Amino acid sequence: MEIVMCILAGSLFAAGIYMLLQKQLLRVILGTALLSHGAHLFILTMGKLNRGAPPVLEKAAESYTDPLPQALILTSIVISFGVTSFLLVLAYRAYQTNHTDRMDELKGLEDE
Amino acid sequence: MLHYYILAPFLAAAIFPFIYSDSRRLHAGWFVLPVPVVLFIILLQKLSVLISGDTIMQTVRWIPSLDVNLDFYLDGLSMLFVLLITGIGSLVVFYSIYYLDRTEQLKQFYVYLLLFMGSMLGVVLSDNVFVLYTFWEFTSISSFLLIGFWYKRKRSAYGAQKSMLITVMGGLSLLAGLIILTNITDTTSIRGMIAAQEDILNSGLFIPALLLVMTGAFTKSAQFPFHTWLPDAMEAPTPVSAYLHSATMVKAGLYLTARFSLIFSGTDAFFLLVTGIGLITLCAGSFLAVKQTDLKGVLAYSTISQLGMIMAMLGFGTGGAVLAAIFHIFNHATFKGSLFMVAGIVDHETGTRDIRRLGGLMSLMPVSATLAFIAAFSMAGVPLPILNGFLSKEMFFTASLKISQTTSLASAFADFVPFLAVFGSIFTFVYSMYLVFGTFSGKGNVKDLPKKPHEAPKGMLAAPAILVILVIIIGLMPNLISGSLLAPATEAVTGEKALVHLKFWHGVNIPLYMSLAVVIAGTLLFITLKKWQPLYGRIPSYASADRFYNGLLSVLTNGSKQLTNGYMTGSLRLYTMIILAFLTGAAGWFLWRTGGFAFSTSDLAPVTIPELIIGAVMLIAAIASVFMTHRIAAILVVGVVGYGLSLLFVFFRAPDLALTQLVVETITVGLFLLCFKHLPKLWPLNKTAGEKFFDLIVSLSTGTILTLIAISAHSSKWFDTISHYFVETSYTLGGGKNIVNVILVDMRGLDTLFEITVLGLAAIGIYIMIKLRTKGD
């Protein structure tokens, strides 16, 4: 299963990067969202999948899945949410001010 | 005590501006004058120590842990330079009192001059190579400031920049050479290096060290092909040209060569490099001097060629040659210093330095003319018993005939060197005559000059007069300084006891014939000067070092501009591609080189169908999102990936993650939808096939590399997880049963604190972005 998930995470990365290389601001932001999904899956996979019960203590369980990667991912999800929403509003403002969301038109003035 | 001598000019430079501003009635130079005069007198008294064969060595700790200490050392060679620096320094300060007007920025001028004097003293007295280097760069900087003294003139700024670039380039190369020498010999002391000469000669780094150190010397002493800064440095005030660019700073390179010749001398490489460059400089400098039309231009090229001559003699390395070099260093300082000062007087009294406009000043400025004639005849080496220049020139000819004694390589060139020496000297004769006769004899249109010429004030004439008197005294009685000054200096360079006796008449011998040949050929060439001088116009301009320097500078600036413009296009896409390509390349190369890829199927969770299906859906959604052309569809497709991920979290037994992911995904999608109302429609990718191809390559290879890294990381686990600690202590220490939550708020609570901060900052940022408007929005 881990191998499959590794490939899936890699594919998410590839798709995210392809979006990142596009010329439209929105696609770039969508790309970062895909990238962070890939990264989260990646971290989870590194901590071994499906070994024991969910990490909530109960008497019946003998072993639990690794709780540490889950805690890390939880932090990461929240942070990437903050960054994504910031980027979204930034894109919104940039479009409002510049009246374009084409990356190649957002280059500043010639004499800068 | 040596430390105080070096410190004195620096201290004076620090204090002087405060004293001067209080009393403006006197010219600022009078306040500065005591410093070099007192130093000169004190140092003159040390001569007795040197004559008795002793040296003075003093140390003050500076950075003992790096073996860098203020070790100062006074021997014959240092003594010669110290006396030149303070002696000519006094005369130059005196001269500048009359030369520079009170309206000039005198404070700056004298502060720079004092800084220069102090650093120059430091250069010639240092025994520690790094202290030497420090003062060396100080001279470059103060020289830069002095050349650019009239900073509003474009030529001054250009000349200052040029001299700075070239001499600092040489200074850095010197530093590299000194570091190599320090590494070989394990000492930072010059005398220690001389003692370890064997190690240096046997080291594989001998040639690089020699080249680097000599590059420093060549740039400072304006040797070919680095001579090009000196003519442009003539934009400095004339006292500066007289002091720095004839008598002292340009001889720092000669000092360095002489100082290190106990290490390098006697080898073929040293002979070839120093003599070769010196002779080229001698011939090229004297040849080009005749071409100049500016008085100071002639003098600049003349300085270049004379320095080349001294350099060549240092390269010969025989006792006689070194003595001649030392003697000529002294002589050149006297006659060239006075010539510069006379050129300054002419400029001051007529308003121009252009030889083509000058002429016939002999009757109007008789004293200046006399001084100029004596100094120029001495420079030309006219065989008269009152001219010191003739003595050292004949010693040069003698030395050039004896070079076959030095190294095996030298004997191969022994037949050519005297001819080159004579060739250079002929042109020296021509430009010396051209200089004085062009200025002072002939008819000349006195009325056309910017000022009505008349004799300069006595104060201005005093300094060059003293120097010319020295020329005559040394010419008449050369042995006055031979025992006290020249012998200890020669001894310091060759390391052998030198018995020096100079005399004017050696009998009829080959050097005399050479001198006569120079005078005859020189006279003939000078008389016919008008006929062949236009030939200089035929010299192709690409052959000039000046043009090479300018070309190199513009190639460097334009080249780096083009290079930077080539990749700093302002396109995020390109930057991302460069970063990712490098990441992929480096990671892939490292993985391949170290054999880091591992694939193990031993410790895997079983593959189950529901998870596979979700994975497949996510994969399809991710790929589809790339091709979406409708904005709502794109958001939803990316949302599918997020929801799929939260489902995967459920299957992989991460309930908190699943919950959070679900909520966050919902809010994100909501946000996207909110924003998209105000955003433009997605437009088609409309990229060229090539761009698409590159995008595909970069994204696929990055994805592949990351997959490979993930697989090999998973397949080679070296340590067991530490999570059993969290499982065991979650309840006993943390008091909670949900292990993930206990980790978040208890065991690794700091992460959570700052994650909250991140959210807060994002919220504030968003609020500000929406609320804050600049004008025109």
What are the chain A neighbours of B611 within 8 Å (beta carbons)? 1, 4
- Cβ of A61 under 8 Å from any chain B Cβ? no
The alpha carbon of B575 is separated from its chain's Cα centroid by a whole number of angstroms, namely 34
CATH topology of domain A2-98: Helix Hairpins (1.10.287)
Are residues B28 and B126 located together in one domain of the fold? yes
The pLDDT of residue A112 is 44
Residue B330 lies in a domain: yes
Contacts of B652 (CB under 8 A, 6+ apart): A44, A49, A50, A65
**Rounded distance between C-alpha atoms, residue B456 and residue B345, angstroms:** 7
**Which residues are registered as beta bridge partners of B126?**
B72
- B664 close to A (CB below 8 A): yes
Tokens of B307: 């320095």
Residue B279, in any domain of the structure? no
Question: What would the pLDDT profile of B363-408 be if each residue is shown by its tens digit?
Answer: 888 888 889 999 999 988 887 777 888 888 888 888 888 876 666 6
Q: Note whether B607 contacts A1, CB cutoff 8 Å.
A: yes
Residue B458 has a pLDDT of 83
Identify the pLDDT of residue A105.
72
The C-alpha of A112 sits at a distance from chain B's nearest C-alpha, in angstroms, of: 11
A82:B762 CB<8 A: yes
Q: What is the pLDDT of residue A109?
A: 56
| Residue B706 to residue A12, Cβ atoms within 8 A | no
For an interface test with A, the pick among B739, B748, B754, B759 (most A C-beta atoms closer than 10 Å) comes out as B739
Q: Which residues of A touch B568 (CB under 8 A)?
A: none
Could you say which DSSP state residue A64 is in? B
Sites in chain B below the pLDDT cut of 50: 777
| A49 with B605: Cβ contact below 8 A | yes
| Chain B neighbors of A51, CB-CB under 8 A | 605
- Residue A35 contacts B where some CB pair is shorter than 8 Å: no
Q: Do A3 and B676 touch (CB under 8 A)?
A: no
User: Are residue B686 and residue B771 in the same domain, yes or no?
Assistant: no
Question: B571 phi and psi, to 5 degrees?
Answer: -100, 120
3-state secondary structure B434-498: HHHHHHHCCCCCHHHCCCCCCCCCHHHHHHHHHHHHHHHHHHHCCHHHHHHHHHHHHHHHHCCCC
Confirm whether B79 is domain-assigned: yes
| B746 and B695 fall within a common domain | no
How far from B298 is each of B287, B305, B404, B612, CA to CA, in Å?
10, 11, 33, 89
Task: Report A:84-103 residues touching B (Cβ under 8 A).
Answer: 84-86, 88-93, 95-97, 101, 103
Measured between CA atoms, how close is A98 to chain B, in angstroms?
10
Q: Is the dihedral of CA B622, B623, B627, B628 positive or negative?
A: negative
What's the gap in Å between the CA of B596 and the closest CA on chain A?
A: 17
Provide, as residue numbers in chain B, all residues whose Cβ is less than 8 Å from the Cβ of A1. 604-608, 611
Q: Please, which residues 730-749 of chain B have a Cβ atom closer than 8 Å to chain A?
A: 730-731, 737-740, 743-744, 748
Residues of B numbered 713-732 whose beta carbons fall under 8 angstroms of chain A's beta carbons: which are they? 713-714, 721-723, 726-727, 730-731
Q: State whether B644 and B520 are in the same domain.
A: no
Can you name the residues that pair with B60 across neighbouring β-strands?
A: B70
Point out the residue among A7, A50, A84 whose CB comes nearest to the CB of B653. Answer: A50
For residue A77, the chain B residue with the least C-alpha distance is: B661
Instruction: State how far the Cα of B637 lies from the Cα of B618, in Å rounded to an integer.
Output: 9
Q: How many folded domains does chain B comprise?
A: 4
Length of chain B: 777
Which candidate in A24, A25, A26, A80 is best for mutational testing of the B interface (most B CBs within 10 A)? A26
Chain A's closest residue to B729, CA to CA, is: A57
Minimum-distance CB partner of A40 among B645, B672, B695: B645
Strands, E assignment, B64-161: 68-74
Domain end marker among B516, B550, B584? B550
CA-CA distance, A6 to A4, in Å (whole number)?
A: 5
Amino acid at B676: F
Q: Which of B573, B615, B623 sits opposite A4 (nearest CB)?
A: B615
Q: What is the 3-state secondary structure (H, E, C) of B720-758?
A: CCCHHHHHHHHHHCCCCCEHHHHHHHHHCHHHHHHHHHH
Distance CA B536, CA B299 (A): 18
Q: Which of B603, B657, B723 lies nearest to residue A74, judging by beta carbons?
A: B657
DSSP-based three-state secondary structure for B165: helix
Nearest to B619 among A8, A65, A88 (CB): A8
What ranges do the domains of chain A cover? 2-98
Do B15 and B5 lie in a common domain?
yes
Predicted local distance difference test score (pLDDT) of residue B135: 94
Please give the share of chain A, as a percent, with pLDDT higher than 90: 32
Residue with tokens 């969770």, as numbered in its chain = B605
Q: Are B193 and B127 in contact (CB under 8 A)?
A: no
* For residues A98-108, average pLDDT: 72
Q: Could you tell me if B326 and B397 lie in one domain?
A: yes
Please list, in sequence order, all residues whose beta carbon lies within 8 angstroms of the beta carbon of residue A73, skipping any fewer than 6 positions away: A40, A43, A44, B654, B657
d(CA B599, CA B587): 17
Instruction: Give the residue from A4, A5, A7, A18 with the most B CB atoms within 10 Å of its CB, the best one to mutate.
Output: A18
CB within 8 Å of chain A, chain B residues 532-571: 570-571
DSSP one-letter code for B275: I
Residue B284 belongs to some domain of the structure: no
- Give the pair of three-digit tokens for residue B250: 């340009």
Inter-chain contacts counted by CB atoms under 8 A, chains A and B: 265
Distance from the B78 Cα atom to the nearest Cα atom in chain A, whole angstroms? 54
Residues B352 and B417 occupy one common structural domain: yes
Q: Are residues B727 and B711 in the same domain?
A: no
Q: Minimal Cα–Cα distance from A16 to chain B, Å?
A: 8
Residues B603, B546 within the same domain: no
Residue B460 lies in a domain: yes
Nearest by CB to A92, from B652, B679, B706: name it: B679
- Which candidate, B327, B267, B329, B342, places its Cα nearest to that of B303? B329
Per CB-CB distance under 8 Å, the chain A contacts of B605 are: 1-2, 48-51
Range of the domain at B61: 1-264
CA distance B557 to chain A (A): 19
pLDDT at residue number B23? 56
Q: Do B702 and A14 touch (CB under 8 A)?
A: yes
Separation in Å, CA of A35 to nearest CA in chain B: 10
If asked whether residues B33 and B93 sit together in one domain, one would say yes
**CB proximity A49 to B under 8 Å:** yes
Spell out which residues of chain A touch residue B660, defining contact as CB-CB under 8 Å: 74, 77-78
Give the B window 577-596 contacts with A, CB below 8 Å.
Answer: 577, 580
Quote the pLDDT of residue B562.
93
Give residue B598's region: left, alpha or beta (phi > 0; psi -120 to 50). beta
Same domain, B508 and B599: no
Q: Which residue of A has its CA nearest to B626?
A: A19
